[in-house]
Chains A and B, each alone.
Chain A
Amino acid sequence: MRNRLKIERAKFDLTQEQLAKKIGVSRQTINSIEKNRYVPSTILALKLSEVFNKPVNDIFFLDEID
C-alpha cells in the first residue's frame, strides 16, 4: 500500500511532529507511514483523513503488488 501523506502534510504546512500531535501518535509513526514501512490501522487512517479533510482512499491507495 502506498500513500500521499507527505504531499498532504506539505499542503497543510505541517511538520511530522505537528501531525503526530494532532492524531496522538509519535513522530516515528508518521515517518514510518510516509516511508511505506508501516501500514496504519483503520482508526489511524480515519484520523488522518479527518485532519486532511479527504476520504481515506485519496490518501492511501493499493499498490500493484497488493
Chain B
Amino acid sequence: MEKPISCNEDEYNSLIKILDFRLPHKFKKIGYFGAILLFVLLLGSKFLGDYTLTLIAKDVLRTLVLLFLLLASLSKDSFEDEFNRHVRFQSYVLAFVCIAVYSISLPLIAIIFDTIITKITGDGIINFHEVSSFEVIFILMGLQLLFFETLKRFGRA
C-alpha cells in the first residue's frame, strides 16, 4: 500500500525544490561577465559626464547589472555537493546581515558627519543620505558572491 503523503510534506518538498533550484554552471560566467561589463559602462558614463547615457538608459543598465548578478548568484558551481550548498546558505545569511547593518548605519553616519561639518563650517545644512534600492540589492548580491567564493576556499562552514 502506498504511504499517504500529508499536505505538510508536499509543501515541504515544494519548498525544498524551490530552495534547491539552480541554473546551469555556464550562467555563472555569463552573469559575472555581463555584470562587470555593464558596471564598467555605468562607471565610465559617470566619469565621462551625464551626456553619454540618458536617465532611462542608466536605469535599464542598472536593472541589467542586477539581473546578471542574480544569474551568477543562482547558477550552479562547477561541482555541486552538500558543502557548496552549506556555504551558499551561509553566504546569503552573512550578506543579509551586512546589508542590513549598512542600510541602517549609513544614513546615521552621514547625519553625524554632516552635523560635525555643519558645526565647523556653520552653513546649517544637514543632508539625509537615502540608500537607494539599486545600492542595497547590488551590494547584497555582490557580497553574497564574494562571501560564497571566500568561504568556499578559506572559511569554516
- A: which residues have CB within 8 A of B? 24-26, 28-29, 32, 37-38, 40-41, 43-44
Contact = CB atoms under 8 A, between A and B. Distances in A.
Contacts of B84: 26, 29
Given A26-B84, A38-B157, 14 more contacts: A25-B81, A25-B82, A26-B79, A28-B153, A29-B82, A29-B83, A29-B84, A32-B157, A37-B155, A37-B157, A38-B86, A38-B156, A40-B82, A44-B82
Contact of A29 (B81, B153, B155): B81
B83 A32 contact: yes
> On chain B, which size bracket covers the interface?
10 to 19
B76 to A, nearest CB: 12
A28 B152 contact: yes
Nearest to B78: A26
Nearest to B153: A28
A64 B86 CA distance: 24
Interface of B: 79, 81-84, 86, 152-153, 155-157
A28 B84 CA distance: 9
Question: How would you classify the secondary structure of chain A's contact residues: helix, strand, loop or mixed?
Answer: loop
Contacts of A37: 155-157
7 smallest CB-CB distances across A and B, nearest first, come from A29-B83, A25-B81, A26-B79, A37-B156, A38-B157, A41-B82, A29-B81
Nearest to B82: A41
Contact of A24 (B81, B152, B153, B157): B81
A35 to B, nearest CB: 9
Contact of A25 (B83, B155, B157): B83
Nearest to B155: A37
Nearest to A39: B157
Contacts of B86: 38
Contacts of B153: 28
Contacts of A32: 83, 157
20 contacts: A24-B81, A25-B79, A25-B81, A25-B82, A25-B83, A26-B79, A26-B81, A26-B83, A28-B83, A28-B152, A28-B153, A29-B81, A29-B82, A37-B156, A38-B83, A38-B86, A38-B157, A40-B83, A41-B82, A44-B82
